[in-house]
Amino acid sequence: MDARNFSALDSKGMQQVNADMQPLLSEALSASNVSAHWERRVFGQHAGDSYVAGMDPEILPALVGCFPDALRQTLARRRAAAPASTPLQLRVSIHVGPLPHTGLGVPMVHIHRLLEDDALRALLNRANPEITNTAVIISQRVYEDVFESGCLNGEVLPDQFMQHLVKVKKFEQPAYVHIPGFDWRLADPDIFEPLGTTDAANGQMAPAPGPSPQPTSPTPGTVNFSHSGEHGTQAYNLQAHNIFDTGRGQ
């Protein structure tokens, strides 16, 4: 997790956000019924205003279907308990891919690129932090694995994930953005990168997509739940970032 405007906090505020990171994740994952897997997480890393850890791939349906709203509620309770504090907003990325025990590899690079998505940042920059505290982005592979499998845990719908093209440095792949409880038909489509390419005949860009379409072909595999991995197996990589870092323009 990474706090927006973290660098603007005083020392006490920074220390409090740092101390809240793991308990927030633990509470939200417990509410998603995957606390046992959380206890077995691999190479968890705390970077002051962020936390990353690896978990077993079998919990992917719960991570997509239950965790986002559980995190939203956890943050809302934190806010209610300390109304004078700065509201905390988090962004989360979920991706799939095998990683060694070090957590180093292409899937890890990709999950960071997803989290650096300009549209994801723009959403929370526009949002009222008293209302919207969580934004999630998942790779197309994760979307297909979860919604094609029929094993989704929770009541989230495919159309609650908006597909768009993520372009960060040399990374360019479709992904799906989710704001717990939000209807994407109410969103301003201009914040999204169109998935279409320029038409050579008229030079026009294809229009931005509407609510996420159903995938046509699932990609087998498991998921990354922030910095994670077991050698020889696939693991979740999830990274939650508090989008309060003004120094990075979030």
Q: 235 falls in which pLDDT band (50, 70, 90)?
A: very low
CA distance 82 to 77: 9
Tokens coding 142: 């994760």
Position with higher pLDDT, 71 vs 190: 71
Q: Quick check: 210 pLDDT over 80? A: no
**Consecutive H or E run containing 137:** strand 134-139
DSSP, collapsed to helix, strand or coil, labels residue 221 as coil
Number of Cβ within a 10 Å radius of residue 78: 17
Structure tokens that stand for 218 in this block: 């699932």
Q: What is the pLDDT of residues 74-129, one digit of tens each?
A: 999 999 999 988 888 888 999 888 878 888 888 888 888 998 898 888 888 889 99
What is the DSSP annotation of 153-184?
-SS--GGGEEEEEEEETTEEEEEEEE-TT--G
pLDDT for the residue numbered 77: 96
Tell me the per-residue pLDDT of 131-174, one tens digit each, with 9 for 90 and over: 999 999 999 999 999 998 888 888 899 999 999 999 999 999 99
pTM assigned to the model? 0.77
Residue 244, classed as helix, strand or coil, is strand
Cα–Cα distance, 96 to 231 (Å, whole number) = 14
Handedness of CA 141, 142, 148, 149 (dihedral sign): positive
Q: Which tokens hold the place of 106? A: 């292409």
pLDDT tens per residue, range 4-45: 667 777 898 888 878 888 899 999 999 999 999 888 887 776
Q: What percent of the chain has pLDDT over 90?
A: 34
